[in-house]
Amino acid sequence: MYRWQLIPLACLIVGFVATLAVLVLWRRRSAMADPRQALQKDLLRGPGESQRDQISEAAWDAAEYAALAVFLPVLVFCAFPLAAVFEGDLPGRPTFAAFAAAALLLLAWVLARLWRVLSRARNLSLGYEAGVATGQELDSLRHLGYCVFHAVPVAAADTGFEANIDHVVVGPGGVFAVATVGRVGSRNGNGEPTEVTYDGERLQFPGWEETLPLGRAVAQSEWLAGWLANGLNEPVAVRAILVLPGWSVKRTAVSGIPVLAARRINAYFGRMRALPEMTDTMIERIADQLDRHCRVIAVVAPEPPETSARGDENRAPEALSA
């Protein structure tokens, strides 16, 4: 065997190592020098703040697995028979079949990982879009005297839910922890959103049902109530709301927390009566505590109070809470 015959293999190895090195180094550099720390310092967090970061991570994962899928099987297939070829003996059919099987198995594993990453990115994107849609509807409540905060950081340990509350609304009608659920829906023949049925205990989507988002919404409201009480040194009632952007909600029972379509947010808060305890001073105190906590640089929440609320099991096929 002539040495020049190793040139194609050397080119593959160099290309693989160089591509993977650039991806890893650039990813590490991006994590260490996030431009938002300088450009958005001390700004309020926007809707879907945490999902946006996770989407970026999923994109880097997908790029790395794509590089592995392109280079690794070829390298494995070329490297195994290299010794035999170098000695002047070509491998027989059984050896060739073993090499091919190993390369195909490796390729199948890498593609399976890539599929999982792309599915995660799709669900995160769906959750992000749902959070933005709900946030835009909630922001329109400001003319009613409400303050709106997005992606409120939470110490996730021992809480059983995501490390942020999607939205918090504070105003004359009270304090509300608003959770957003992003699900793939469709529209009927009239162009209207698909209907989901809510009986106070579960959400019945077309083809599956869920209870976990309801439990998470309640757990988030209880955590927020305890956190505000610790900060203000007096009890604060927090009500949970679940919003389903892109869906129409049919309620069949009066029990359970409110579950709203995003387009019904203004109507729901518009007919709400003001609470006596929600004076201008009280609203300002709560809003000030949340404002200081929800700045971009304040990404770590204080230790939460103990909560016993836990969500039920979720049986959705492709689902992601925003």
Whether residues 11 and 42 share a domain: the answer is: yes
Q: What is the mean pLDDT of residues 224-240?
A: 92
Whether residues 114 and 234 share a domain: the answer is: no
- Between 183 and 236, the more confident residue is 236
Domain of residue 187, residue span: 141-321
Ranges 36-50, 63-77, 154-168, 287-301, most confident: 63-77
CA distance 257 to 242: 8
Q: What is the pLDDT of residue 298?
A: 42
- Give this prediction's pTM: 0.65
Q: Is the pLDDT of residue 77 over 60?
A: yes
Name the band, by pLDDT with cuts 50, 70 and 90, for residue 321. Answer: very low
Q: What is the pLDDT of residue 119?
A: 82
Least confident of 116-120, 152-156, 163-167, 209-213: 152-156
How far is CA 146 from each of CA 7, 67, 93, 209, 272, rounded to the nearest angstrom?
68, 49, 74, 33, 12
Q: How is residue 251 written in tokens?
A: 């309620």
- Between 260 and 315, the more confident residue is 260
Contact call for residues 242 and 268 (beta carbons, < 8 A): no
Residue 218 carries which side chain, given as an amino acid letter?
V
Final residue before a domain boundary, out of 92, 123, 154: 123
Name the band, by pLDDT with cuts 50, 70 and 90, for residue 33. Answer: low
Whether residues 178 and 69 share a domain: the answer is: no
In a domain, 291, yes or no: yes
In a domain, 302, yes or no: yes
Whether residues 159 and 94 share a domain: the answer is: no
Q: Please compute, for residue 43, the number of CA atoms within 13 A of its CA located in the half-sphere on the CB side.
A: 10
Q: What is the pLDDT of residue 302?
A: 47
Q: Is the pLDDT of residue 320 over 50?
A: no
Q: Which H/E stretch holds residue 261?
A: strand 259-261
Number of domains in the chain: 2
In a domain, 201, yes or no: yes
Query: Vertex 33, ends 300 and 135: CA angle to 5°?
Result: 50
Q: What is the mean pLDDT of residues 213-220?
A: 90
- Between 278 and 314, the more confident residue is 278
Among residues 224, 214, 220, 222, the alpha carbon closest in space to that of 249 is found at 214
Q: Is the pLDDT of residue 301 over 60?
A: no
Whether residues 235 and 263 share a domain: the answer is: yes
Q: What is the mean pLDDT of the chain?
A: 76
Whether residues 166 and 92 share a domain: the answer is: no
In a domain, 128, yes or no: no
Q: What is the mean pLDDT of residues 175-184?
A: 88
Ranges 66-80, 173-187, 220-234, most confident: 220-234
- Between 39 and 179, the more confident residue is 179
